[in-house]
Amino acid sequence: MASGIVAAQGVSIDLGKTTQGRYMKVVGNSGTGLIQDVIKIKGEYCAKNAAAGNAMHFDVADDYFMNFAAGTYSLINVEYYDSLATTIGLQYSGQGGATTHPDVITTAGTGKWMSFSFFMADVKFNNDLANSADIKLTCVGTMFVNAVKVIPFEKYIDFGKITNPDNSKTDDADGINRINLTGSDGLMRYVDTLGTTLMTSDRADPTKGGYAYLNIDDAYINGATAPWSNVFITLEYLDGPDPNKYLRVQYDASPINKNLSTESVYGRNWNCLRTYSFEINNGFFNNLGAASGDMRIHFGHPGLFVNRLMIMKIPKRPLPSTVRLANHTAFKFLDTPTMDGNLVDWNWLQSRNDTMLMRYDANNFRTDEFYRTWLLNSANVPVVEAGEAGGVVDPGVPAAWDPNDLTGMIRIGWDNTKLYFAVQVKDNVLDVSGASWDQKDGFGFYFDVGHTIVNNKPVAMRDDPAFVLGEHFIFLPASNSDLGFWKHSTSQTGEALPVSVTKSVVTTADGYILEASIPLSLLTDGIAWKPDSLNNPDNFSPLFAYMVNDADNVGAFSGRLMYGGHSDDDEFWGQLGFVPIPLADKGMMVDFGPVNYENFMTQVEKTSADGAVKQLDVHEKKCAELEKGYAYFDVSDAILSADKQHRRLLVSVEYLDSASVAGSQFRVQYNSSDPTLVGVAADYKDTPWITVGNTK
């Protein structure tokens, strides 16, 4: 992985897997600047200076960040391993040329990952250092560096920075104002820790989190010249111990959304201040938020603390996003589909959002999934084929593609024993003659059910250096004579798929249809996993990625479309949600859950005095308990209505039959057209009582 570009945001480089970061890169990687990478310490990849005393040199992208004006602020954040007897210093290209920063990092040997920010107000980035670098990390001893991040900024708010004569705290700010809302979700509190003052939500209900509402000075940025396609917003935050707690920014992107969310930042238990930059290419900042604000910091729930927020207008639109990992949903089947290449069993999913693997996105923001995977892994880039216009120099340019070649649509379903795929591929040349999987047309998917449990919640085990228990890659060639290929924990290089996998491939006028089933037992490796079982700590959404491979007899392979990931590195896979509600048309029904599935029939009177129900998860079934004695339902008038006679009607109730509720009774009451009944008796005619027994 050392040659790939690692997903990141802002001006940053994640060392250990790459020497080419985002808007910056390693330079002078030889001699006294030589580094050694692909080192893993306590879950983090890093690089070290190859010899004690060696430096690390970095160049910041000149077309974005060069020749800053005097007075431009900047942080340079260094993430390092706290080993013994090491001193790390910083030199940078300043207004007066090569400048040595007065601060240094002195390690204490705690054996933990830590972070330190160098602040400066005189950066220039004019390539003044050796190797035409802008930044140089010097070292006495051996340094282990996980990441280097550069945060230039023009406006900021430092929460609780100022201590008043009465010892109260106020914010230090330039161009950003915090709106003190008195509503429950806008209450904040200051916390003194790590020698500074931080801020977090003070909402009365600690499970709901809250918001810090902010307004940017209209003289700096406003909606008059929107959309703003060139804004970096950076948070400096305390990386806490709970990986289920998060921070994100929500900003005015009107007319799309006045509270559009960025990706979320989660704690990784570093217990130090870290930074994260959000790249905004569709901001309006038109004062449409609460109290005429432009954005807000969303605390997923209290626990992560913020030190400051910084903002910068960069010279041009940011690069395509690499961090918005795609997710997908697998829906549960009521009836087992037949693997025959005829997708009639999937018709009930037609209205769902299928995963589309596209060649390009006409939207000029170009954050589409394929462009992301192409950017992150050059092995995915297709080569020129007959009929294409001169080669795929840029997958974002439609003219570089043959319109008859390579798109894909994927649906995924599951039941208690198997995972099901329906794949429709548009591919003008079907070629499965290659010697290895990457030389064949077909569909592949990555799947990782491995997880750990923190605070009774499942957390993905990302960044595995190899295929471990619960982690798999399966490739299904577009051929009925070749079942497929399988990488897993006991076969790192891969082997033939077992016959428990079934597959059918049907060629079409413009490509092929592939339908397949995979036993869940093959994918779980005995790991405890309860798909979407409410409140179960093993209710984990597995990591995943899809690919459509394209060979076309022009070499080893001509590239692939990917969704959810860009390679076999699970650090950058999406998550696959498993929905247990049978989303199929099975007559008039209500299937209770956190969100009911309702078909021609709806639950009503949910908040009435006697119609409230409580959502439960019993024996891995989502269900409802009648809290006040009744649950009310309305059937669609288009199906059953008062102007029609329905002499025979079957009403079916699926209920828990358990010793724990033995002796309980229930019945159905319905609106009757019986002429002998009037008033309430006609509105609620009784059926016989059903007595609950003592079986499960």
- Which of 172-181, 259-268, 280-289, 643-652 is predicted least confidently? 643-652
More confident residue, 375 or 592: 592
318 in any annotated domain: no
321 in any annotated domain: no
4 in any annotated domain: no
Are 620 and 519 within one domain? no
Q: Please name every residue paired with 149 in a beta bridge, in sequence order, or none if there are none.
A: 12, 77
Q: Does the pLDDT at position 519 exceed 80?
A: yes
Are 430 and 480 within one domain? yes
Are 390 and 429 within one domain? yes
- Of all residues in the chain, what percent carry a pLDDT higher than 70? 86
Tokens for 167? Answer: 């010892």
Q: Does the pLDDT at position 584 exceed 50?
A: no
Look at strands 135-140 and 105-106 and give their pairing. Answer: unpaired
How open is the CA angle 306-299-75, to the nearest 5 degrees?
30
Mean pLDDT of 242-252: 87
- pLDDT tens string 62-83: 989 999 998 899 999 999 999 9
Q: Which residue has the tokens 């570089």?
A: 400
Q: Does the pLDDT at position 297 exceed 80?
A: yes
Are 137 and 105 within one domain? yes
- pLDDT tens string 91-130: 999 999 999 999 999 999 999 999 999 999 999 999 999 9
Are 284 and 213 within one domain? yes
Q: Tell me, what amino acid is at 566?
A: H
Mean pLDDT of 551-558: 60
Average pLDDT of the chain is: 84
Q: Does the pLDDT at position 399 exceed 90?
A: no
Q: Does the pLDDT at position 615 exceed 90?
A: no
* DSSP notation for 225-239: GPPB--EEEEEEEE-
655 in any annotated domain: yes
Are 55 and 148 within one domain? yes
- Which of 4-8, 330-334, 555-559 is predicted least confidently? 4-8
Domain boundary among 109, 127, 153: 153
**pLDDT value for 397:** 56
597 in any annotated domain: yes
Q: Does the pLDDT at position 214 exceed 80?
A: yes
More confident residue, 679 or 541: 541
CATH number at residue 212: 2.60.120.1360
More confident residue, 5 or 221: 221
Are 469 and 440 within one domain? yes
**pLDDT value for 97:** 95
Tokens for 538? Answer: 């093993």
* DSSP notation for 47-115: EEESSTT--EEEEE-TTTS-SPPTT-EEEEEEEEE--SS-EEEEEEEETTEEEE-S--EE-----SEEE
pLDDT band at 457 (very low <50, low <70, confident <90, very high): confident
d(CA 237, CA 64): 25
Cut 0.85: pTM above it: no
Backbone angles phi, psi at 348, to 5 degrees: -70, -10
Are 306 and 405 within one domain? no
**pLDDT value for 355:** 55
**pLDDT value for 340:** 93
Q: Tell me, what amino acid is at 131?
A: N
Mean pLDDT of 424-438: 87
Count up the domains in the chain and report the number. Answer: 5
**pLDDT value for 5:** 34
pLDDT band at 3 (very low <50, low <70, confident <90, very high): very low
* DSSP notation for 405-436: S-EEEEEEEE-SSEEEEEEEEE-SS-----SS
Are 620 and 545 within one domain? no
Closest CA to 9 of 326, 367, 396: 367
Range of the domain at 301: 155-313
CATH number at residue 100: 2.60.120
d(CA 103, CA 83): 18
Are 630 and 649 within one domain? no
More confident residue, 395 or 47: 47
Q: Does the pLDDT at position 394 exceed 80?
A: no
Domain boundary among 527, 555, 579: 579
Domain boundary among 111, 126, 153: 153
pLDDT band at 211 (very low <50, low <70, confident <90, very high): very high
Q: Does the pLDDT at position 507 exceed 60?
A: yes
3-state SS, residue 592: coil
257 in any annotated domain: yes
Q: Tell me, what amino acid is at 399?
A: A
6 in any annotated domain: no
Q: Does the pLDDT at position 251 exceed 90?
A: yes
322 in any annotated domain: no
Are 524 and 670 within one domain? no
Question: Is the sign of the CA dihedral 6, 12, 15, 18 positive or negative?
Answer: positive
Q: Does the pLDDT at position 422 exceed 80?
A: yes
Tokens for 629? Answer: 């004695």
Tokens for 60? Answer: 């910041």
Look at strands 613-618 and 621-626 and give their pairing. Answer: antiparallel
Q: Does the pLDDT at position 172 exceed 70?
A: yes
Are 496 and 512 within one domain? yes
Q: Which residue has the tokens 């990457």?
A: 438
Q: Does the pLDDT at position 482 exceed 90?
A: yes
